[in-house]
Every structure is written in C-alpha cells, then in structure tokens.
Amino acid sequence: MKLRLFILFVMICGVVFGEVSPTLQPVVIMPSVDEEVPEPEPEPVILSAEDTPDSVFIQRLQQLPYVVELPYNPVVRQYILRYFKGSKQMPELLSKHEHYMPIFQDVLALYDLPYELAFLPIIESRLNPTARSHMGAVGLWQFMPATGKKYGLEINSLVDERRDPIKSTHAAAKFMQALYKIFEDWNLVIAAYNCGPGNVNKAIYKAGGKRDFWSIYPFLPSETRVYLPLYIAAVYSMNFAHCHGVYPSETPVFLQDTIAADIVMFPELEEVIANGSIPVDTIVTSQRVHLTQISECLDIPMDVLRQLNPQYARDIVPGNQEYAICLPLDKMGDFILNQDTILAHRADELINTRRSEIELLQTTSVEGATTVNGVTYYKIKEGDNLGAIAAKFRVSVKQLKSWNGLKSDFIRAGKTLKILK
C-alpha cells in the first residue's frame, strides 16, 4: 500500500514540475546529420508510342527472352506507331491476346517451337477465328483450303476446322515445323508462312544465295516485305502496351461482339463481364445437334455459342463421328444431364427434315453447285440474278461481286460464280 502511494506521489510531482518519466516519453528516431534519407522512387513516366525514342524501343525488344530475332529499324517503328494510333482497338486486341496466347503456346510447346510464333495470328487475323481474306484464307492462322487439308484440317460446308483455335494451331505448328526444316532461320520461316516457301527460295536465289530476311527483302513480294516488320511491331505492342497507358478490355473475349439484347435477356452475363472471364470446358459428341437446340435448352446466347464453336459454319454439329462442343463451364453439367432433351428439342425442324441437305453439305457439295477445296462454284442459269443467288447461298450481293470481281449486277448464263463462304 505504501509502495503504491509512493509511485502516485512521484507521478504527481512529475506533472507539477514538468518532468515526464522516461518510460512514458514517445521514442522518436531522428536521422543523424551524416545519414542520407532515401528519396521515394519516381513514378514511371508513361510516354505515347509517338514520343518514345528509338533507343527505348530497341532496349525493350532486346530484353525479351525470345529465340526469333527482333531487329529494329524505321519500318518497324512505323508499324508500332500504327498499333497505337488512336488505340481504340488495342484494348480488345490485348484481351484476345491474353485469351488465345496460352492456347497457342501450349500447342507450340508440343512441337518444340518458339513460343513467340504465337504472335503471328495477330497480323494474320487480328485474333478473329472467323476471319476470311479476299483470297479465301480462313481462321486465326489464315489457312487456304488446300494447305489446311494437307495438315489434317476438316473443311467442308458444315465444318471448317480452320476456325477451330486448337486444331488450326496444331496445323500451323506442323506447317512451321516443315518450313524450318527447309530454311533453318525463323525470320525466313515467318516470311514463308506468308508467301510460301517457293517465293522465299526465289528471293534467296536472286539475292545470290544469301539466307537472311533483310538480304532477300528487295526480292520478296511487296506484302511479305512488311510482314516481318508487322510481326515485330505486334510482339512489341502486346508486350509493352502498358508502357504507353493501354490495357486489355475488361469485357471477356466471347462477349465482345455479343449484342446488348443478350445482356438484357441473360442478366447473368453482367457478372461475367464484371469478372472479366468466362470459364469454359469441352465435351465430345457423335450426335448430330444444332447450336440452337443447345442455346434454347441451356439459356446460352447464340452469339456466345458461335464464338465458342466457330468451326461449325452453319451452326450444325454434323455427328456420325466424334466432334467437340465448347460450352460455358457452368452449363456443362446441364448439358450432360439433359442431352436427350436437347437432342429432341425442335429436332424435326432443325435436324430431321434437313438430313439429306446436311449430309450433302458435309460431303463438300452444295445443291446447284460444286465445292472444291473449300470453294463453291455455281454455274449461272437462265433467269438467275445476283440477288437470288446470294439468297440461295446465304451471302450478300456485295460479297458475290467482291469475290468475282464484278463491277455491276449484270451476269450471263453459263458463266461460273465463286462463293467463298
């Protein structure tokens, strides 16, 4: 008791006389005069591509851990600036790049090919699996029908595996593997992927046997001369877009083209958009089924199904052999449990009454026309007009005129039209 009174007395004295017990004083550590206080690191400066000096572009390209050489010159700079000019499409392209890159690189690894070859579809198709060139090349890797079939892709009026991201990447890997055996130089492989090995060999001959891209550059087709610079620019843009203040779109790849009506009809898509991802899985079936049956039974928007399964050109999984169907992961269990219901839903309208038509399409022949190597040829009959022909093949008059070099709507019986769809 006496001890407690003594401690209380000492504390009161400390307050009265302005003294504070050392144990009660706050400890403040002050730097010594000689000690330097570290300055905070400056925020990284974000420069537009246009304001970025050449030395920075060169340094960034050189630091990438890639096997394929990535030289820099004014032509490469020109195409880098094109990627960032306006930057309106870059966020969507970056989002697609994030989605497809793991798919491409997993397949390329199986063939022991450089991962950076996965950037080629950016310049081939802007990562659009349904892209079609004016020459008839299709898909992410832009295969012509003959080349696609040579490397194992099924191509007919119902199924076009050039649009299948995984199968077309296997075909592209086999093709590039074969090209490397010829040229043993990845820059020449990239050039040959664009214009064919024959044109590259001709350029090598004209260059006196020199076997590097920049030596044969003057002797390559004009389109191929810019192909490697475009590739290098794509590699830079996908790796360093953030250095220029450009970032991937938050909208998932499979919903970027989904119409607003689908969002209204299926409010759950808003959560998917907010999360920025759409988990998917694949199931194999040998049953003939229309994507509309799956869409209506499982409440999946047709736009999403089409983007998940771009290889089914007419929304029909042909059956008779095993075909893969890609679905949102949360719908996979419903598909398995309700498969019989799905197959029966509107079957007479969508499948049964069209069996002969579907089988005809599957054998690469269209009624009234002949399909060869993925291209349909139609012989014009008396009384035909472009509008009627376009409706028959479910294309537009504008497409027919473009594919056949027509400047007017005038056509003549006996002539042949080319349909690329």
CA 105/CA 346 separation, integer angstroms: 40
The one-letter code for the residue type at 145 is: P
- The reported pLDDT for the residue numbered 134 is 84
CATH number of the domain within which 406 lies: 3.10.350.10
Same domain, 370 and 339: no
Its domain, for residue 391, covers 365-419
- The reported pLDDT for the residue numbered 254 is 52
Same domain, 348 and 294: yes
The one-letter code for the residue type at 139 is: G
Lookup: tokens for 13 = 């004295």
Same domain, 340 and 373: no
Residue 23 lies in a domain: no
The distance in angstroms from the start CA to the end CA of the chain is 101
Residue 7 lies in a domain: no
- What are the distances in angstroms from CA 290 to CA 148, 184, 268, 309, 344? 25, 45, 23, 12, 11
From the list 179, 221, 213, 193, the residue with the least C-alpha distance to 125 is 193
- The reported pLDDT for the residue numbered 348 is 87
- The reported pLDDT for the residue numbered 265 is 37
Contacts of 14 (CB under 8 A, 6+ apart): 20, 21
Same domain, 87 and 226: yes
Same domain, 274 and 374: no
Tally of structural domains, the chain? 3
Domain boundary residue, one of 209, 244, 279: 244
Residue 36 lies in a domain: no
Largest Cα–Cα separation, the chain: 125
Cβ(131)–Cβ(140) below 8 Å: yes
Domain boundary residue, one of 316, 332, 354: 354
Q: What's this model's pTM, rounded to 2 decimal places?
A: 0.69
- Give 261-285 as a 3 state SS string: HHHHHCCHHHHHHHHCCCCEEEEEE
CA 238/CA 240 separation, integer angstroms: 6
Same domain, 295 and 348: yes
Same domain, 237 and 263: no
Cβ(72)–Cβ(57) below 8 Å: yes
Same domain, 87 and 180: yes
Residue 153 lies in a domain: yes
Same domain, 264 and 338: yes
- The reported pLDDT for the residue numbered 307 is 87
Same domain, 94 and 188: yes
CATH number of the domain within which 100 lies: 1.10.530.10
Rounded (5°) CA angle 87-91-94: 120
Cβ(151)–Cβ(174) below 8 Å: yes
- DSSP-derived 3-state class of residue 408: coil
Residue 238 lies in a domain: yes
Mean pLDDT, 10 residues at a time, over the chain (421 residues)? 52 48 45 57 71 95 96 94 83 92 94 97 94 90 92 89 94 97 96 96 96 94 94 96 90 47 38 53 92 95 90 89 91 94 92 65 52 73 82 80 88 85 62
Residue 21 lies in a domain: no
Q: Give the phi and the psi of residue 325 in degrees, each rounded to 5.
A: -120, 125
Same domain, 235 and 286: no
- The reported pLDDT for the residue numbered 309 is 93
Residue 235 lies in a domain: yes
- The reported pLDDT for the residue numbered 395 is 80
Residue 14 lies in a domain: no
Domain boundary residue, one of 325, 354, 383: 354
Same domain, 119 and 159: yes
* Long-range contacts of residues 216-222, Cβ cutoff 8 Å, at least 24 apart: 216/188, 216/191, 220/191, 220/195, 221/195
- The reported pLDDT for the residue numbered 260 is 34
